[in-house]
Structure 1
């Protein structure tokens, strides 16, 4: 991070703020906490009485503003608690109230946070007026999630330390930068002509931002090129931005803290929780397989401590000359298309991350509505000319048919599935098929992290498709709470009982058959031709899943004694397309073609060589724009 400022920019901000507010309001102190401007006041009740004042100040100052009471002006916590509970309707379902004197905040956790907030935030204003504390509202997850609980508790414990961290980040973001931004660069550190190890550096004369830092499925040791000059010193990066939690984008983020990074990671709230879940599992799997993990769980905690969450649509300063906006990517929970506004309108770069352009059962389709985009860095996973997925309805019908056929002959269906995204999509399809009689009701076993990932989905219903969100908020309609979903929590002994029992469906990680509990299921079920293995997600080159999908039936296997042997698969193997979280070739073209205005150039990444080449060529032929299919370690300069 650069530190070339010589004056305190907060003084001018405070002076302007005081010019804009009525005389009876008192500003004790102002501070930047990350991208937000925090106003401490001895008159919090009067601030709360001025409906619309905060919105007007945010518009005038062009900052996100939070008002907090100065120390000593709040009611005693015990009295404040009684007042707060009297102001909130009983059916809001308050599950926790915590007071934080250092920041003047009260955390209110409720089953129905909308009732705590009130119409146009009227109840929140009333709480502040009555007790002087600034309320922060969280939703109590409908399904118990140890991840959500652990992350929230950890961040609460670190609240004072985080405030110091956020104030430091705020000073760096709002430091006095260079007057004009006259160039920007994007350097590819991975993810080019390959799927995996996503990592890019966005540079300007003033700032450097790292976008994603993932591993490469099925290719141990192939990591992003973090050692190159564009990425170093890593400790001096201004910011890290994470598009979504899948490991090929997030796995190696904690490594940055091992290399001395001490700055912010920007992502959405559900992505923060999911990345912690997946990274800790990544360490656990590495240890079980006898590999040395690249970092420790302590580094994951450091990463969480340094995370700043941003909602879709919020324009957020992350450096003196860079503003970030997240938009729904439709890929997995919390996934984001990231828009970077560089300089004073100098250049706009969008990183698509992974996208699904049309609506699914879980999510609304990816957003591509931006005020300006000159350069688009675009995923190309299904970019080949013939990469067209089956219609979603047809895919669901085909899956149900395969399950019904297998069950009719007393067979068992096992589906390798990513814990995040595809598993929840499949759960919705199977639950509906059994509820409507298209399938006989049978157990659906969830192995690995699938149930925990599902609980995280229910904790953030506002990130889900509208109709599903409403169902989750009513316990009696929540499809994820259906009786047939059962967690595999009894280890290998329980798996053996399930494999020798009645017909059932098993959803198991890992989705690309690169390790995890799916290996046990192949050992237990693979010898019976009456059983069926169904692939529903992308199988990257080099993974065991891709080899099985391509016809290989002799697979390497390590028994529980650690001895390597060959396992012969005799069960039926099927692939049902249409469930991928990625857009197909037509969806990718539609995403670019329906952008208005369209970008001047598209950099095609996150696909094998044929996919990126053919998609790049197709966009050029269809729309006449400049397109590229770069290799790793190429740099694109925008003047």
Structure 2
């Protein structure tokens, strides 16, 4: 399944080109850091005044180049820390200073970076001039979380290995001279005609690239995983992996690749990295309390962290000798991104836009809609989770958001008035925060003393949201200036079994808990205790995948069998009230998907449908074909290989 082909890279071609353009007496070392090049200098003047030379290099070579001080030039850590504390204004709230001597970088962990950025140019200049360290600013979450602290510690734990990895990645990217682009092929390893185990393999005559690597949470056998034994998949040939967002159906199998020898880079946005690590650690923890053998180990997650390269949206980056990507906001969850990919050679270029999961149209309080300002697009790969036509799949029509909010509050009020409890199974990232904002808004308007308990990863994922406000909607950022709604007193963290038992014994409370499809996690503990009481309510606010417990309960079954903590199982009689509110979905509906396609700056020549049940994918494909002058549309099967581009004779 996981055949390997190891490669060694000693390529310094691009470094040599940079070195030719820099005065020889100022260079201590020139090295790759992924697709970027870093010049370490022992010359103070060049460190502080290099902009004309570096700008010329960037213009000529079209590669990002940065200058840092050689370690011998930097002030000692003790001296630098004293100087930095004097320079950084008190109102920024400098919480911690972390030095990485291997890269001459100093991380400043602050609570209010926006106050630093207000005078950033001058402050950074002062720190560089007085310490010769290069400062980088890290925003700390405004919600305290031991898990986010642990992730930060893991990220900074192995700087030497990180530097070696980044150098190796750069050597790989620049190893091959640009060749003729002979073909681009897509192989469907998972996530086609289904929702789950998203995994797409792109291959050219030079590079193999993987996009997403998820699991299907509705299974616990081999059907859970992408089809890695597909002909042509070779883990040793992979040059890079790109992750669109941190939900398990897109990242749940990723550490498995590191377990079996993958040694390359993983690209995603910063908030996706943090949420991904948290979700994978949680997945590993849940496996301890089930009969399932864990797919991977904690050491595989640690290796994943070292090998993750974070990119901002809208920055084009080489990830292989013949592949560039640009991440574009997808609007689905915090930091979620579409992947605009350019496969190129000396003769031509071919572009593919992979949507991942997108939200387009409608409004949520939390995120902006997907960005459709994408110029080149030969092939579009678009999701179809709610892609069915309205007359066939009524649930696939996006409800008015205000109406859905009112329905949610109405159900909650009715349940609490009769001293019942409310269970809302949620995906930890996205839907949970949407619901929290609705409840916060209700609390602030009415001042009703409701209690909302957050169980599972929700507290820690919400903390991550507060560390990346720039990825949230402008409306929400303005709201945060008047007080962070996630810090409202109605929200209470549940972190121990004892605290959970205390909540279960109460009446008139609301619980938000993972997992969103009820296939595991603390939500089951509440459900087992509250399911038999008709005064209680269960509210579904996100998609329920095939073969999941949530799907069965949503479908109306009267009894379910659930594993217990003693290695056995128990049958649960379901008498509570069940509701489905589809308007909170983070997915575009049928109409929104069509609008997104129409709004693209350049219409695609071919459209491939993925991430949807078969009937919905076909329904969307037929509509696109009919409305777009019979444009080529494809609904591939798992294991299908599609030739997207070819420029050779057989």
The DSSP-based 3-state class of the residue aligned with 2:433 is: helix
Structure 2: distance between partners of 1:250 and 1:11: 34
The structural deviation recorded for 1:180 is 1.4
Unaligned runs of 5+ in 2: 391-395
Greater shift in the superposed pair: 108-117 or 287-296? 108-117
8 Å CA contact 2:9, 2:168 repeated in 1: no
Within-5 A mapping of 1:435-584: 435-437=444-446, 440-472=448-480, 474=481, 477-491=483-497, 493-584=498-589
Structure 2: distance between partners of 1:6 and 1:180: 23
Greater shift in the superposed pair: 563-572 or 31-40? 563-572
8 Å CA contact 1:213, 1:251 repeated in 2: yes
Within-5 A mapping of 1:363-402: 363-386=367-390, 387-402=396-411
Structure 2: distance between partners of 1:193 and 1:401: 36
The structural deviation recorded for 1:46 is 4.2
Q: TM-score, normalised by structure 2?
A: 0.93
Greater shift in the superposed pair: 428-437 or 548-557? 548-557
The DSSP-based 3-state class of the residue aligned with 1:157 is: coil
Alignment match, 1:224: 226
8 Å CA contact 1:3, 1:175 repeated in 2: no
Aligned length: 630
Structure 2: distance between partners of 1:298 and 1:610: 40
The DSSP-based 3-state class of the residue aligned with 1:339 is: strand
Alignment match, 2:433: 424
Structure 2: distance between partners of 1:2 and 1:97: 38
8 Å CA contact 1:44, 1:68 repeated in 2: no
Structure 1: distance between partners of 2:119 and 2:624: 46
Unaligned runs of 5+ in 1: none
Alignment match, 2:158: 158
Structure 2: distance between partners of 1:17 and 1:432: 58
Alignment match, 1:612: 617
Q: Structure 1 residues 559, 169: closer, same or farther in 2, change over 3 A?
A: closer
Structure 2: distance between partners of 1:156 and 1:544: 38
The structural deviation recorded for 1:24 is 11
8 Å CA contact 1:25, 1:46 repeated in 2: no
Within-5 A mapping of 1:242-321: 242-321=243-322
Alignment match, 2:393: none
8 Å CA contact 2:10, 2:171 repeated in 1: no
| Residues 459-483 of structure 1, C-alpha deviations (whole Å, 9 max, x = no match) | 11111112323444x5x70110111
The DSSP-based 3-state class of the residue aligned with 1:382 is: coil
The DSSP-based 3-state class of the residue aligned with 2:288 is: helix
The structural deviation recorded for 1:519 is 1.5
Alignment match, 2:626: 621
Greater shift in the superposed pair: 376-385 or 35-44? 35-44
Q: TM-score, normalised by structure 1?
A: 0.94
Q: Structure 1 residues 172, 585: closer, same or farther in 2, change over 3 A?
A: same
Structure 1: distance between partners of 2:142 and 2:10: 50
Q: Structure 1 residues 52, 154: closer, same or farther in 2, change over 3 A?
A: farther
The DSSP-based 3-state class of the residue aligned with 2:58 is: helix
The structural deviation recorded for 1:50 is 5.5
Q: Structure 1 residues 565, 100: closer, same or farther in 2, change over 3 A?
A: closer
8 Å CA contact 2:98, 2:107 repeated in 1: yes
Q: Structure 1 residues 175, 433: closer, same or farther in 2, change over 3 A?
A: same
Q: Structure 1 residues 394, 203: closer, same or farther in 2, change over 3 A?
A: same
Structure 1: distance between partners of 2:503 and 2:163: 49
The structural deviation recorded for 1:161 is 1.1
Query: Cα RMSD (Å) of the superposition?
Result: 2.1
Greater shift in the superposed pair: 193-202 or 358-367? 358-367
Q: Structure 1 residues 57, 362: closer, same or farther in 2, change over 3 A?
A: farther
The structural deviation recorded for 1:606 is 0.5
The DSSP-based 3-state class of the residue aligned with 1:288 is: coil
Alignment match, 1:58: 58
8 Å CA contact 1:27, 1:39 repeated in 2: yes
Does structure 1 residue 353 correspond to structure 2 residue 356? Answer: yes
Structure 1: distance between partners of 2:609 and 2:267: 23
Greater shift in the superposed pair: 444-453 or 143-152? 143-152
Structure 2: distance between partners of 1:130 and 1:114: 23
The structural deviation recorded for 1:328 is 0.8
